[in-house]
Every structure is written in C-alpha cells, then in structure tokens.
Chain A
C-alpha cells in the first residue's frame, strides 16, 4: 500500500490530504488534521467563568461562536436565560463574525477555484493575481472584511476573541457614536454584498456545476426554529427530505448522535447509508426560505442542479452575508440596544449537565459540560461542524479521486481534490480542537 500526503493550501488551519493507493488504484482519500490540541481536556477543572475565554482560542475565525456556545452551556447549568438585549447583541456579534469568515473563505479560498472550474480564468495562482483580477470586487471584499471586523470590535470589545460575552449576558456600554457607526457600515455593506452576489450570478449561473460535486447522498442537520432562519435559538433537526425528519430538543441529543468515546469525531446513530451535512446548505434546506424577497430573487437564478451541488455553498455564503446584514440593521433599530447592559446574576448551579448550541458560520456548534458532585467540570464534549461534515467530505473526495485517477496523474488528483475540500470550507482550527 502506498500513502501520498500533501499539505492543503487555502484552507483554514493546517490539514493534509492523504491518498491511499493499492496496486496503483486509489482506494481511500481523506482530509487529515496534523495536530489535535486537546481543548476538551484543558477545560476539565477550569472555572466556569474562565471557560468562554479559553474556548474562544479554539478558533480565530469562529471565536464569537465558540464563546457564545460556551456561555449558553454555562447559563444552562445555572438555569438562567440572558436578557433580550444581550441576545440581540450576541446575534449582532455572530453576524459580524459570519460576514468576515464567509467573505474571506469565498474570495481568498474559493473564488480562484470557481474561476478555474468554469474555465473563466485558470491563471489565478497567487494573491496578487487575485486582488488585481477585478479591483472593484476586491475593494468590496475588503470593505466587508472591515465591516465584520468593526462589528466584532464595537460589540465584542476586540477584533477577535471577544471580551464582552459572559455567562449571564453581554457586557455593553454603548456610545451613541458607536451604534451610529455600525449602522453606517452595515448600510454600505448591503451595497457591497449586492455587487458581489450579482458578480457571482453573472459569472457562474449560466453554467452547470460539475456533477462530481453533487450532494446526492446527504442528510441535513441544523437548528430548526419555526420562526424561520435562525442561528441562535431552536431545536435540532436531522432531515432526510421534506417529509422524513427528526426534530428533537438539544438536551436529548445523545439519542441521535454523540462524541466518539476517544473524542476523535462524532458518531450519528442512524441506519442510513447517507452522510450528515451541516452548514449553509443544511440551513438553506431546513429553513426553505430566508424571508427576504431580494434573496428569493437572487436564488431564482439557480436551478435544481446548482441547489443540490456542493459549489452552491459558495453562493449561500454570500446570501447569508446579505441576510445577516439586513437582520443586523433591524436589530440596530431596536430601542433595547440604546441602554446600558443588564446582566443576569449567576446565583446557584442548578444542573450537572450544561449544553449550549448555536449555528456557527460552518454549521452546528455544541458545547456540553458535565459537573461532578463538587460542581467542578469533569467532562467536556465539543461538537464541531467540520467534524460533523468530515465523513461526507471524505466519502466525496474518495469517489472524486478514484474517478480522476482513471485519466489523470496523481499530481493532478492532488490539486483537484483540494478544490473539493476547499468547497466544503472546513475549519481545521475548530476541528483540531
């Protein structure tokens, strides 16, 4: 047996593509994380109020999601809910994080691949070619990164690893100026994202996406809130199709899935041969629509072939940016925000299991902390979107690699399989927690 290892480029974090060959035939291909950091062990024995700050350091892109999922798990232990004002502020912070995370992935990591797949421009190989390819697009991308980052600073207290979300709420001391400047940024943001979405439609919607990227055998997993698209509140849903699905409360999750006993991955207790997918595509399938006419109009440019294809994730990232900017503008209109923070008190611990779940940019993120009799954290399980998506990713890249290797050499396989890995937008920092 031969093993080919290639470091992945243009992905979030350090990952390797591994191809296993037997008798010069590919029999398996996988995305492998070179390092596991062991945050689940680090958190054992840590003070509850310290944990959100530590878990933020799991990921430099999903920092707000990690912090807020942690706060929710701790609030669950205390049996409290933060104020409506705190929830709105947390939503704003999550929006800032998503805007930056999605646009960085779309532009630096996926866009050059899309230009190549559709044979529009196969020559973009380095950041200089990329930023000079369409300067107007580049400017709009950088403007959106800035908007995400400014929201993180103004609501979270710094550009990343936010200071303000704490168990009991979110510390907020608004100045009139800070809220006005966020609103100004966001309103401009709508224009920037509109031009990027329209650019995507102009460039790619006329083509059919490659069939190798079809998501024919997937089950969608995400938060389901009957009020519509939501990344902060809801029950969990595992959906085979429109009529076959399981809805369940977060506290009952272990009937449906659990962490592998050695903490290396997540096991779903389903007999189906289909694989689980979480993230923007699952959110789209579960919510059906975003409740914004302009978004429905944008989506109508794409037919069934696109909507069941992995590459649609890139378009949905842009759609989610549009959605989150619109919702953030609505939140900023709420009078609740104009007042100083009101935090809930942490009086006494009510439960021995605390679970917090949200939809991070890449999908479901869940923290589960268990306390011993002395009320010390003695077991931690972190459920990370990229870990959830790993089985379907590995299955699809294996099939793709096998097919490619019938006609192309191993170098070409390595290059093209990485395009598929990047299309999944794996967050290797989170997954290698």
Chain B
C-alpha cells in the first residue's frame, strides 16, 4: 500500500523542497508514494486526506493558520520540514514580520531540522516515512562527534569577539586546529543537534546553529550558553546571533 503524501510551503525560500528534490532517493520516493498535494510540481489544489504531511516554511501571515489547520485535520502525521517550520527560521531576524514555527498553531509529529536539512539526514528521514516508521534524530550535540573535539579543552571564562575567523585564519580540520571557542570565535556546536556531519566545520567555519537545539527553547538555550563567555561589546547586542533561526524561548511557544 502506497502512503499518501502532502508537501507544501508556508513562508519560505523553497529550499527544503529544493533539497528534497535533489536527493538521490527522490525518484524512488515518487515511485513508492502517492502524492496527493504538492503545488511545486502538481496542479491539484484540493487538500485531501493523507498519511503524511511535510510542511516547510514559517507562519508569517494570518491566513496561513487556517491553511495549516486544514492540513493538520487531513493528515495522519504532520512533520515540520526544515528550521523555519520547526523553529521560525531566518525571518526571526526581522523587526516587523512574524515568523512562528508551525507547532505554535498545530500539533506536530516530528521535525526534520536544518537550513536546509542535511542531505543524509533528510534522505534517511524520507525513507523511514515512506515505510511509515518514526523518524530518528540524534540526541547528542554537534561537539560529541566534532573533528575538532579532541583539541577542545575550554578554559572558561573565554572571551568571544568574532562570529567567523579572519580570512587568513581559516584552517581545515586535520591542520591541527583547535576548537573555535578557544580562539575567540563563536561556535554554536555545543548547543546544536548533531546530524549534518559538520559541514561548516569542514570548511573551516564555526557552526551557526541551523539544526537547532536538542532540547526545547532555541533562544533561551542560546542565551544560557552565551552567558558562559565574555562577549565582546560588538557582539553583545548583535541580533544576528540571538535571533538567527528562532525567537523561541520555550518549546513550541514564543
């Protein structure tokens, strides 16, 4: 029996859908499921009953709430696809625009985080969903498997004064580099869920936290974490750190 899928976007960049369609398993996904609703590639605009709904994007407009509730009513399971849908996402940086995670308005059965969700994580989640299995996310943080971890002996309190290394400071793992935090560069690995294979770290850049926290409360986690350091003056009031992917102080509600 093929499961029925609904895939749609709220306020988004369409990147999670683009990531989904770039997966090696996407052709297989189309063969093994029945797409009931997927406006990006299909003309049907009627929301019908389905087994699994994947929703990307945050809620930024009032009319999206009703649309989302209609989807919830028709879906046996509903998953937040990507960081906008799971936590609010990049629009959290806006001063005048709302960006709520979908869980503020409807119950969700799970999240597939990331901006975008890493290919391996997304592919594995998709295959499990096709087989009607629960999806599994790591319960560890980024540091637990970080290639720089063996050199990370944090001597707190540290002073953090940069969000990225200078261009002449960029080094790759394997070049005897130490943890970013030891070098005064903000890395959100300690409070970010493992699951991307350290894509940014491998390019010599710190984690920007796009997969979100393991436990609830995106921004409260961040504020607690930052309190461990002496943040330089130019970072202390920089919204770019606090609200980069969320304004959530507690799970689901903000």
Q: Which residues of A contact B (CB under 8 A)?
A: 7-14, 34-35, 37-38, 41-42, 45-47, 49-50, 53-54, 57-61, 63, 100, 104, 108-109, 125-128, 130-131, 138, 142, 145-146, 148-149, 153, 157-161, 163-164, 166, 168-169, 171, 173, 341, 343-346, 429
Tell whether, in the assembled complex, residue B43 and residue A9 are in contact, meaning their CB atoms are under 8 Å apart: yes
Q: Which applies to chain A's interface (DSSP): helix, strand, loop or mixed? A: loop
CB atoms of A157 and B203 under 8 A apart: yes
* Alpha-carbon distance A161/B40, docked complex (angstroms): 19
Q: Nearest residue in B to A57 (C-beta to C-beta)?
A: B90
> How far does the alpha carbon of A429 sit from the alpha carbon of B91 in the complex, in Å?
13
- B93 in contact with A145 (CB, 8 Å): no
Do the beta carbons of B163 and A126 come within 8 Å of each other?
Answer: no
Q: Are B22 and A41 in contact (CB under 8 A)?
A: no
Known pairs A60-B17, A159-B119; A126 contacts B43 (CB<8 A): yes
B168: CB under 8 A from chain A?
yes
Flag if A163 contacts B199 (CB, 8 Å).
Answer: yes
Rounded to whole angstroms, the CA-CA distance of A232 and B13 in the bound complex is: 23
Q: Is B126 an interface residue (CB 8 A)?
A: no
**Which of B113-129 touch A at CB < 8 Å?**
115-116, 118-119
User: Is B97 located at the chain interface by the 8 A CB criterion?
Assistant: yes
A349 to B224, CA, bound (A): 34
CB pair B15–A160 under 8 Å, yes or no, is: yes
Does B140 belong to the interface (CB within 8 Å)?
no
Contact between chains at B15 and A161 (CB < 8 Å): yes
- A37-B97, A125-B43 given; name 19 further pairs at CB < 8 Å: A7-B39, A37-B11, A38-B96, A49-B163, A60-B14, A61-B14, A61-B15, A63-B13, A104-B18, A128-B30, A130-B41, A145-B26, A159-B19, A161-B115, A163-B200, A171-B170, A343-B167, A343-B168, A346-B166
Q: Which residues of A contact B196 (CB under 8 A)?
A: 158
Contact A149 B13, beta carbon cutoff 8 Å = no
Residue pair A131, B30 in contact (C-beta under 8 Å):
yes
Instruction: Count residues of B near A (Cβ-Cβ below 8 Å).
Output: 58
Q: How far apart are the CA atoms of A128 and B32 in the complex, in Å?
A: 10
- In the bound complex, residues from chain B placing their C-beta under 8 Å from that of A47 are 163, 238, 240
Interface pair A128/B18, CB less than 8 Å apart: no
B24 within 8 A of A: yes
Query: Main SS of the interface on chain B?
Result: loop
Given contacts A13-B14, A142-B27, A146-B22, contact A108 B40 (CB under 8 A): yes
The yes or no answer to B9 lying at the interface (CB within 8 A) is yes
Cross-chain contact B203 with A100 (CB below 8 angstroms): no
Q: If the complex has contacts A159-B19, A163-B205, are A46 and B13 also in contact, measured as CB distance less than 8 A?
A: no
A189 → B minimal CB distance (Å): 15
Chain A hits for B61, CB < 8 A:
34-35
> Which of chain B's residues has its CB closest to A341's CB?
B170
Residues of A within 8 A of B74 (CB): none
Contact A10 B39 (CB under 8 A): yes
User: In the complex the two chains form, what is the Cα distance from A288 to B29 in whole Å?
Assistant: 41
B94 at the interface (CB under 8 A from A): yes
Smallest CB separation, B113 vs chain A (Å): 14
Residues from chain A with a CB closer than 8 A to the CB of B170 are 171, 341, 343
Q: Which chain A residues border B17 with CB–CB below 8 Å?
A: 60
Assess whether B202 is interfacial by the CB under 8 Å rule.
Answer: yes
How many angstroms from the CA of A378 to the CA of B251 in the assembled complex?
34
Q: Is B204 an interface residue (CB 8 A)?
A: yes
> Smallest distance from the beta carbon of B89 to chain A beta carbons, Å?
8
Residues of the A chain whose Cβ atoms lie less than 8 Å from the Cβ of B91: 37, 42
Q: Which of B154-183 contact A (CB under 8 A)?
A: 163-164, 166-168, 170, 172
Are B21 and A14 interface neighbours, CB within 8 A? no
Contact with A along B1-13 (1 / 0, CB 8 A): 0000000010111
Max chain A C-beta neighbours (<10 A), residue from B14, B17, B118: B14
Who on chain B is nearest to A143 by CB? Answer: B27
* Docked-complex contact A157 and B39, CB < 8 angstroms: no
- 9 smallest CB-CB distances across A and B, nearest first, come from A60-B15, A149-B22, A343-B167, A60-B18, A57-B90, A60-B14, A108-B41, A60-B13, A168-B167
Task: Kindly provide the distance from the CB of B132 to the nearest chain A CB, expressed in whole angstroms.
Answer: 20
Choose from B19, B35, B93, B205 the contact partner of A127 (Cβ within 8 Å).
Answer: B35
Q: CA A104 – CA B15 in complex, angstroms?
A: 13
CB distance B30 to A12 under 8 Å?
A: no
Q: Which of A37, A50, A173 contacts B204 (CB 8 A)?
A: A173
Against A, the Cβ 8 Å flags (1 = close, 0 = not) of B68-109 are 000000000000000000000111011111000000000000
Q: Knowing A41-B96, A60-B12 touch, does A157 contact B199 (C-beta < 8 A)? A: yes
How far apart sit A395 and B228, CA to CA, in the bound complex (Å)?
A: 58
A252 to B40, CA, bound (A): 38
Contact status B30-A173, CB under 8 Å? no
Determine if A127 and B38 form an interchain contact, defined as CB atoms under 8 angstroms apart.
yes
- B44 interface residue (CB < 8 Å to A): yes
B42 part of interface (Cβ distance < 8 Å): yes
